[in-house]
Structure 1
């Protein structure tokens, strides 16, 4: 059975609104909720970037049932991995075992702000591997000293550890990242419905198979709106950055950069990638490739803040029924 989640999109909504949406999404019946972790929005039109960990702490107290997850946190530049280990443990206590730590190698947009530069992709992956090792060690509860290529940890210990350990999901995009990172993590995270990623994960040494201990957690933007025209307009305004693909999106440093890179992206280009309008069946068909590729979990991103509450009130419930019926 596929689980369906709701995305707390910190780039497009303020902190109080996000908590309110989280409560509504739980009430409607979403299985889990994921939060982006950004320092800047992709585009100035989105206009928000609250601190994800404060929001998730509030959400943990305001909800009771849904799973919670970062989608995803970069534990290498803006945050030292020892700090990520501490806040993940605290959040797991507040969430009473409902939290999964989603990790990735990050985007320049968010990580350059601390003035540490933006490493090449191979270095970023090495840093992520070291970070996961450090987080795992600290979640073991012992005093940790660590000397690595990229990080040092001196006499660190997490004093408040949850009864249920923090499981780790890691974002992967190809054969190398799967082979290097799968043995270090519990769950796969990916933003494309690629069966080869699931197959590669299942073939890696020392991993649990997807669907039998491990999850494959995907995410897809949708733009429900009362009309197709309004949906396309909103998606173009808020999500035209998405058309560049992740190889481009990882390296641009500012919202102005994304504005420049997407200046020639047309509304119809966005509509080719994101289902727009009131047709719930079209959204189901857009999500279908994920469960057909073997993904166990799919988080929906409703584009834009101005229709967010209306999406939750009018569309989300019927959409979940159709998704669950189609996914079997």
Structure 2
């Protein structure tokens, strides 16, 4: 049976509410929780972008059992990989080994704030080097690294968990999988593609899914008792999703996303994700992930102000249906 997760979406909710939502989601039965790591929301209407790592520390203390994960952090521009290594080790200790470090090559929306946004090839080169640095620092040894993109001088992580922090890496195609699967413990993807899992398992040096590695996916939903209102909310806050990662990675501002999605309609959004009260429709949409071989699926409930009602009224029966269907 797949594990079903809850997304703490920093773009749509402030820090104190995120912590409360995390505890609530655990209490209704979610298996794990993932958190986005943004400097800006995708759209101004979402209205939030707290510092994810501070919130994660609080969430670790407000929860007891759920696994926690960044979904995902870019360790190459806003953050130096040595700092990410330190943060991840501290999170593992605070959560008592409930933390998975999810990494990706980033989006201009968040990373352009501190410098020029590089090409895809450079972003992937930097990510591979960053993973090497994080792995080295998680050994507890004193590290010097003089690479193409990063310098690390006489660095050591002093507070480490007993076991290295698991690393999951976001991938979106064959070339990315071939490069990063041998460097990662788990796969992250936002489309239910069986081909991604197949390519990962065919890659030399990659940990096999599901024997050793997990395939961790994510799907947006907009549950609500009124379907028309849910469609409107999804369009208002989540129409950026229509562009796909290849486009979304290079747009630098919420204003840019608003312009890029000016002609996306409510029906377009509703065709891409389940909206409204029908739990069976949500189950059908989520099922594409486990049918593709994914082991873990995180739900994104759209709308920061709608989390409590979703968790109170829909989450438990939805989880029951998902577990029965899978």
* 1:207 Cα deviation after fit: 2.0
1:12 is aligned to 12
Q: d(CA) in 2 for partners of 1:62 and 1:30?
A: 14
* 1:307 Cα deviation after fit: 1.2
Q: Does 1:70 align with 2:70?
A: yes
User: Within 5 Å, which residues of 2 pair with 1:21-60?
Assistant: 21-60=21-60
1:86 is aligned to 86
Q: Does 1:198 align with 2:212?
A: no
User: Within 5 Å, which residues of 2 pair with 1:71-220?
Assistant: 71-114=71-114, 116-220=115-219
- Runs of 4+ off more than 6 Å: none
Q: d(CA) in 2 for partners of 1:106 and 1:250?
A: 7
Q: What SS is found at the alignment partner of 2:276?
A: coil
Q: What SS is found at the alignment partner of 1:299?
A: strand
Tell me the alpha carbon deviations over residues 188-211 of structure 1, each in whole angstroms, 9 at most, x when there is no partner: 000001111111111112222111
* 1:164 Cα deviation after fit: 2.7
Q: Does 1:325 align with 2:324?
A: yes
Tell me the alpha carbon deviations over residues 195-252 of structure 1, each in whole angstroms, 9 at most, x when there is no partner: 1111111111222211111000000000001111011010001101111111110000
Confirm or deny: 8 A CA contact 2:181 2:187 kept in the other structure. yes
Q: What SS is found at the alignment partner of 2:34?
A: strand
Q: What TM-score does the superposition give when structure 2 sets the normalisation length?
A: 0.99
Unaligned ranges ≥5, structure 2: none
Q: d(CA) in 2 for partners of 1:306 and 1:75?
A: 30
Q: d(CA) in 2 for partners of 1:190 and 1:273?
A: 16
Tell me the alpha carbon deviations over residues 81-129 of structure 1, each in whole angstroms, 9 at most, x when there is no partner: 0000000000000000000000000000000001x20111011001000
Unaligned ranges ≥5, structure 1: none
Q: d(CA) in 1 for partners of 2:164 and 2:25?
A: 25
Tell me the alpha carbon deviations over residues 4-25 of structure 1, each in whole angstroms, 9 at most, x when there is no partner: 0000000000000000000000
Higher alpha-carbon deviation: 200-209 or 226-235: 200-209
Q: d(CA) in 2 for partners of 1:323 and 1:207?
A: 29
Q: What SS is found at the alignment partner of 2:7?
A: strand
